């Protein structure tokens, strides 16, 4: 290793002070020529220190024009923050680096270059992209559901709804989000109790409510709800799915009506039977009495004949 590299500021920091950074650290001059790099820069750029020093900062990125804008900006404005650049690696996936750059001065206070700190955010970007796809996928699943789906926070305020909820309530998404979940049911107290019960027990099953639409239409719904958590495991809200059970409830009402009518008919029939049975008993008693009278009359007649 030559003496020039051994005397470089970043090399000295790493060697003498054991200041080992996982981030890219580099210095470039007023022309954008790299004058020093740390070991992490060597690792992430996949080039040795000798090749990096003396090269142009901008030539190591997919978009050199954007990289040059960062170089010019730091000398024009005094700093660059969170400036994302995609590195041109060539032998594998291109890392995404976010740079913060500030002017670098000599002992006289004269700006002679810039000091750049670069953090590899490749995995973060991949995670964000995966999360975006997952959210898009989940939104697709939610929207294809024919049942009203809603999420609400721990105070019962709506966070999101699907299209089926919009149709059922007759209200736009903007009208619903941020409003109390309980407001869209005929029994607001029961609806609020059910919403809070989710956070107390973790879930609610087959919780029946009557949803009211903007035009006054009412539908019977049965809710299943459970809490959902953030990446740290903290409960942040609840997810609720409503099944329209209006036809079932109407059928139950009709069945109850038929049962009531049947019970009334049975009561009438029982009264008729009791009345008929009573008459039959009275007829039987009357026949027995007539028979007894006939016997008495016959006996009286026979007795009268003998006396004569």
Q: What is the per-residue pLDDT across 170-192, written as a single tens digit (0 to 9) for each?
A: 999 999 999 999 999 999 999 99
Q: What is the mean pLDDT of residues 235-248?
A: 90
Fold of 145-244: Beta-Lactamase (3.30.450)
pLDDT of 12 above 60? no
pLDDT of 231 above 80? no
CA distance 160 to 174: 9
Domains 3-121 and 145-244 are alike in CATH topology: yes
Report the chain's terminal Cα–Cα distance, integer Å. 169
pLDDT of 247 above 80? yes
Residue entry with tokens 């409503």: 242
| pLDDT confidence of residue 59 | 94
Domain residue ranges of the chain, discontinuous segments joined by +: 3-121, 145-244, 248-308
243 forms beta bridges with 222
Residue 64 in tokens: 């050199």
pLDDT band at 17 (very low <50, low <70, confident <90, very high): very low
Residue 155 phi/psi, 5° resolution? -100, 0
| pLDDT confidence of residue 140 | 57
State the pTM of this model.
0.48
Q: Which of 65-79, 112-126, 208-222, 264-278 has the lowest mean pLDDT?
A: 264-278
256 forms beta bridges with none
- Output DSSP code: residue 23: S
Residue 226 and residue 194 in contact, taking contact as beta carbons nearer than 8 Å: no
CA distance 223 to 270: 43
Q: What is the mean pLDDT of residues 290-308?
A: 67
> For the domain 3-121, what is the CATH code?
3.30.450.20
pLDDT band at 5 (very low <50, low <70, confident <90, very high): very low
Q: What is the mean pLDDT of residues 252-270?
A: 79
- Output DSSP code: residue 92: S
Each residue's pLDDT tens digit, 137-179: 556 556 667 889 999 999 999 998 999 999 999 999 999 999 9
pLDDT higher for 22 or 166?
166
CA distance 122 to 129: 11
pLDDT of 294 above 90? no
């Amino acid at each position: 290793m030559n003496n020039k590299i051994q005397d470089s500021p970043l090399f000295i920091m790493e060697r003498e002070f054991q200041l080992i950074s996982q981030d890219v650290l580099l210095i470039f001059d007023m022309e954008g020529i790299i004058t020093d790099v740390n070991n992490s820069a060597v690792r992430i750029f996949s080039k040795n220190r000798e090749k990096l020093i003396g090269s142009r900062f901008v030539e190591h990125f997919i978009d050199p024009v954007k990289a040059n804008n960062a170089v010019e900006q730091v000398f024009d404005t005094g700093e660059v923050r969170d400036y994302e650049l995609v590195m041109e690696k060539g032998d594998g996936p291109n890392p995404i680096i976010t740079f913060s750059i500030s002017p670098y001065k000599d002992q006289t206070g004269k700006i002679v270059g810039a000091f750049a700190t670069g953090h590899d955010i490749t995995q973060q970007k991949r995670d964000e992209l995966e999360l975006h796809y997952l959210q898009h996928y989940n939104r697709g699943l939610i929207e294809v559901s024919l049942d009203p789906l809603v999420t609400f926070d721990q105070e019962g305020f709506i966070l999101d709804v699907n299209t089926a909820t919009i149709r059922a309530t007759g209200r736009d998404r903007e009208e619903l989000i941020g409003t109390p979940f309980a407001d869209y049911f005929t029994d607001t107290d029961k609806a609020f109790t059910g919403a809070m019960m989710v956070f107390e027990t973790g879930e609610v099953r087959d919780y029946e409510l009557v949803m009211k639409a903007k035009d006054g239409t009412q539908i019977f719904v049965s809710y299943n709800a459970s809490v959902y958590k953030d990446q740290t495991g903290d409960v942040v809200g609840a997810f609720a799915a409503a099944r329209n059970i209006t036809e079932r409830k109407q059928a139950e009402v009709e069945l109850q009506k038929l049962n009531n009518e049947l019970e009334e008919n049975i009561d009438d029939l029982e009264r008729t039977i009791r009345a008929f049975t009573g008459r039959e008993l009275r007829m039987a008693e009357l026949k027995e009495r007539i028979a007894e009278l006939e016997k008495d009359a016959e006996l009286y007649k026979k007795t009268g004949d003998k006396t004569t």
